Amino acid sequence: MYPATALSNLAALQPDRWFRNGDYDGLMTNLPARLNIEVVEPRRLALHGDLDAHTANMLEDMLEELGASDSVDLVMADVAFMDSTGIRVVVAAHGNHTDAESTLNLVTPSDAVLRILEITGLTDVLSVRS
């Protein structure tokens, strides 16, 4: 159950502010990015924050810039949350690396990330290092 205050706050939202003309407008696009990507080494990135629909494109762009010809390490110890969009980016990058005969390594994933990878069965597919 949600607290009564949360429900009353939800009632105050105007749904038409969320979607207009099939695009995200209003509330979603005005949120600050909650993901920082630190380049620890040339092919080792440390992610800090949330990997979700609002931030996944940042990682996707960075991985595209790096290319898949050599292995890449994603240090995920400080990822607090990952949704299906984040999973999509990781799985797509894994596929690109597999095609290029290199590896995308998920290094020290946080408990939240490890849980979602286990639930989806991706720990059996992706290269996950503790």
pTM: 0.74
- pLDDT score at 12: 44
Query: Is the confidence at residue 11, as pLDDT, over 80?
Result: no
Estimate to the nearest angstrom the gap between the alpha carbon of 6 and the chain centroid.
Answer: 26
| pLDDT tens figures, 53-106 | 999 999 999 999 999 999 999 999 999 999 999 999 999 999 999 999 999 999
> Which residues have CB under 8 Å from 57's CB, separation 6+?
none
Bridge partners of 32, per DSSP, are: none
Task: Residues 33-129: name the CATH superfamily.
Answer: STAS domain (3.30.750.24)
Residues 92-121: what's their mean pLDDT?
96
Provide the greatest CA pair distance for the chain.
53
CA distance 113 to 106: 10
